[in-house]
A and B are shown apart, each in its own frame.
Chain A
């Protein structure tokens, strides 16, 4: 079985500042994929960033970057220069195993951005 844990139910950040959201996971597979999804109040789930486990280099997408620590099974998301539009629920997700199109989600972290 695979699990995803997000230990921060809520986080807040000042506009233009940097915030890091935590995620740890567990899987017995060596081949897996990790994702961060964002769900704004309108509820459309949007992919923020993805990481293939076999890649050592941390993924980046503009202001979003991850710190992927494979040995520690940690996959944190860093948002730089936070904007009001970044306010949302953020979900960490894992896909692994022979049927690795099955996503396991964490419970989410609600991010508030203060002006």
Chain B
């Protein structure tokens, strides 16, 4: 496997289900991200993990719970979702540089998980 992989690619779940999305990066990066992509809206940053520590929670409802056990893996645990949570969920990774400005290296994206909540 190369780059950023995500599983599953498609997921249908009921509002009472619990499921998890998985992301794995094979690029040796130290930061990982979850984004939500809905139709007609810009990509929304959900969570950022930098060196396995969550550094950003962009006012995401608690029914979304991220987990980053190591710098290569990122999960998004889902429970009691709503139909409006149906979207494409994208994972990305990058190498965040040190220094005062924390230089931005390019973020590489996975193919996404298409989620449908019924």
Contact = CB atoms under 8 A, between A and B. Distances in A.
Interface residues of A, number: 25
A44 to B, nearest CB: 5
B96 A108 contact: no
A6 B55 CA distance: 28
Contact of B42 (A50, A99, A107): A107
Between B42, B56, B96, B105, the greatest number of chain A beta carbons within 10 A of the residue's beta carbon is seen for B42
Contact of B111 (A44, A98, A107): A44
B86 to A, nearest CB: 15
Interface stretch (B16-24, B43-51, B61-69, B70-78): B43-51
A100 B42 contact: no
A102 B56 contact: yes
Nearest to B109: A45
Contacts of B103: 100
B13 to A, nearest CB: 19
B112 A101 contact: no
Given A99-B55, A101-B50, A108 B42 contact: yes
B102 A101 contact: yes
A3 to B, nearest CB: 10
A51 to B, nearest CB: 11
A100 B104 contact: yes
B107 interface: yes
A37 B114 CA distance: 19
A16 interface: no
Given A43-B88, A107-B40, A101 B108 contact: no
A69 B101 CA distance: 22
B31 A101 contact: yes
Contacts of A33: 104
Contacts of A98: 101-102
Contacts of A42: 111
Contacts of A47: 106-108
**3 nearest interchain CB pairs?**
A45-B109, A105-B43, A95-B104
